[in-house]
A = this chain, B = another copy of it.
Amino acid sequence: MDRYRPVDPRESPRFSGVKSFMRLPHLKTTEGVDFAVVGVPFDTGASFRVGARFGPEAIRNVSALLRHHNEVLDVSIFDHLSGVDYGDLPVNPGYIEDSYRMIEEGLQPILEAEVTPIMLGGDHSVTLPILRALAKKHGPVALIHFDSHSDTGDKRFGRKYTHGTPFRRAVEEELVQVERSIQVGMRGSTYSRDSLDDARALGFDLVTSVEGQEMGIQKMIERIHDRVGDTETFVSFDVDFVDPAYAPGTGTPEVGGFTSSEALRLVRGLEGLNIVAFDLVEVLPQYDPSQITALLAANIAYEFISLIALRKSASKE
């Protein structure tokens, strides 16, 4: 069950070696693999700060700190799973549509092999080709979307593809089961009174940060479970969901957000759901001098992997 597992931190110092995610084997293979960490170093869709192309590098570097056992979820990941760092998908910086095609195609062999991908962005524009690949494999999926922005804009400067529009496109292209989908954490000023209403009009359930802070983490978890049920689900986590104090290294930060504890509790609360893929986006290392954003991102990816391990473990019982 542990064909591929990380270098053991008790045998080699964690700061040592070429930095793959969690120091997993860096192999572009799907054979004997349960999950694959996959970088998508693309940031041409960004509307303000850029640099998420170095997000996967930064997350990999600091992910060396992660250890094998998830204490809170009580699961030893590699008792149940075999995983690899698959490397990065090919992209063409500066060309969104080219890159969309390359990302979608690059992801397909992973999905076809029934390997669960943990995608590391890149800006949030990369989620659209991920959803396209998923829909090809699974049909429309439920979406759980943690973010301070709903990213359901229509066009920007006349163009349909940016990091502010993927979820409107996903609805239009019928990649998601919108009535099974939920967006959580929206906050900050908006372009107009309609901005969030538009997201709701598309069919999403939407919980703003202010609403979520009032209802509390447990209630949010319940609302997510109620919404997605046992549908095949995609989880998209924009690191700007948490407050800039906890995640300064991001492209369009919004103050007034969640803490790292709250984010971890929410992700752990997804236990039991039928999740087929994950992404974690918008880490910009040049705004993260102490690496705390990359560290939080690595930990959230780690919780994602733990959820896969728990599900695998439960399915065998």
Residues of A participating in the B interface, judged by any CB pair closer than 8 Å: 9-20, 26, 39, 41, 43-51, 53-54, 57, 60-61, 64-72, 74, 76, 85, 87-88, 90-96, 98, 156-159, 161-162, 186-193, 195-196, 208-210, 213, 243-246, 248-249, 252-253, 255-257, 259-261, 264, 286-292, 295-296, 299, 302
B192 close to A69 (CB less than 8 A):
yes
Residue in B13, B186, B208 whose beta carbon sits within 8 Å of that of A41 in the complex: B13
Q: Return 21 A-B CB contacts under 8 Å, by A number.
A: A13-B41, A13-B47, A13-B93, A18-B19, A18-B20, A19-B60, A48-B64, A49-B54, A51-B286, A68-B190, A71-B187, A76-B192, A95-B159, A98-B159, A213-B261, A246-B255, A255-B292, A255-B296, A256-B264, A256-B299, A287-B291
> Given A69-B192, A191-B68, does the pair A48, B15 have CB atoms closer than 8 Å?
yes
Residue in B16, B45, B85, B248 whose beta carbon sits within 8 Å of that of A18 in the complex: B85
B193 close to A76 (CB less than 8 A):
yes
A244 close to B159 (CB less than 8 A):
no
Determine how close the nearest CB of chain B comes to the CB of A191; give it in whole angstroms: 5
A91 close to B16 (CB less than 8 A):
yes
Q: What copy number does this chain have within its complex?
A: 6
> Given A68-B191, A193-B69, A195-B69, does the pair A15, B260 have CB atoms closer than 8 Å?
no
Which residues on the B side are within 8 Å of A92 (C-beta)?
Answer: 13, 156-159
> Given A187-B71, A189-B71, A295-B244, does the pair A16, B90 have CB atoms closer than 8 Å?
yes
A47 close to B158 (CB less than 8 A):
no
Which residues on the B side are within 8 Å of A85 (C-beta)?
Answer: 18
Which residues on the B side are within 8 Å of A71 (C-beta)?
Answer: 186-190, 195-196, 208
